[in-house]
Structure 1
Amino acid sequence: MGAASEGYGVVWWEGRRRGAHVIAFELTHGDLARGTVPDHRCRNRLCVNPDHLRPATAKQNAENRGPQSNNSSGYRGVRKDRRGKRWVASARHFGVEHRVPGSFASPEEANLAAIALRSRLFTHAEEASHV
């Protein structure tokens, strides 16, 4: 039996509370290398499917996030400009926001620009294509 804490599944394992996804990964693939965590490719924090997990550094794990809950466009790194008429694209990398020059008529166009920017910046380029 398990529970959820901060959006992740947790279980008691060998006398201590552990992430359910960590246990699932280690039972299937062996111990995680030092400095890595299981990254949910599916972006579902409650998922414990070992096929959806892969080892990643904390930086790589952060690169594989989806749009924030307050995002109105539905696309990661896409928002309305200051006047609220056009769409702009950006990506945050090492705490610095990188913006795509110009603006776009639709959120879909801005999303393509944000994907291209993340592909250049992120080490997990596979995730850059996710919205």
Structure 2
Amino acid sequence: MAESCSIEGCGTKRYARGWCEKHYTRWRRNGDPNVTQRHFNPADALDARTERRGRCLIWTGAIDRAGYGMIRTEGRTLRPHRVAWELSNGPVPEGKFLDHICWNRACVDLSHLRVVTRQQNNSYLSGPKGNRDLPRNVSRHKGVYTVRVNKDGRRYYVGSYHDLADATRAAENKRSELFGIYAGR
């Protein structure tokens, strides 16, 4: 006999994640297998699906694979941080983006969001894309840590260091010099 749904009181056959198809679908649509009410107004969804966690106001509804929240309404998927911004400040200007200063993609706190260009947003990344073992802008070759920072198509060679802490500080200093408040971490 197939196991039943793990939701209390539901005896239906399991479908995925330990839930029946109905509860799994609710989870996919709303971020919670027990939610039956859907919010057709993005502002109502935002009010119902956020909670303060530390310094961030976190979207608790559905999250995509990249960690961004999702509000589905009228056949469209909206980003909760963008909905929060636009309800308070109006539309994000064409060609601009919202940057999470806190690096938490599920955060909708307006004080953690700012309008930036693509270049500013990319320079404010939180870490390395390639080697996750090394800090951003630091590479290792033949026992030496090399620091290089790119901006506007130009590569700035900062130096080579035998100590990882020295290389990390040098990379942070160069990013601060080149990008100012958009230096990232």
CA deviation vs aligned residue, 1:39-96 (integer Å, no higher than 9, x gap): 01111112111111000011111111011363212x211222x21x221112232455
Select the structure that is richer in strand: 1
Q: Distance in 1 between matches of 2:121 and 2:182?
A: 10
Structure 2: any 5+ residue segments left out of the alignment?
A: 1-29, 31-60
TM-score, normalised to structure 1, is: 0.79
Aligned to 1:31: 91
Report the identity percentage. 33
Aligned pairs for 1:1-131 within 5 A = 1=30, 2-7=61-66, 8-13=68-73, 15-68=75-128, 70-73=131-134, 75-80=135-140, 82-83=141-142, 85-100=143-158, 102-122=159-179, 125-128=180-183, 130-131=184-185
Instruction: Kindly provide the amino acid, as one letter, of the partner of residue 181 in structure 2.
Output: E
With a CA cutoff of 8 Å and minimum separation of 6, indicate the structure with the bigger relative contact order.
1
Structure 1: any 5+ residue segments left out of the alignment?
A: none
Check conservation: 2:121, 2:182, Cα contact below 8 A: no
Q: Which secondary structure does the structure 1 equivalent of 2:62 belong to? A: strand
Task: Give how far 1:34 is off.
Answer: 1.8
- Bigger radius of gyration among the two: 2
Task: Give how far 1:17 is off.
Answer: 0.8
Q: Distance in 1 between matches of 2:92 and 2:151?
A: 25
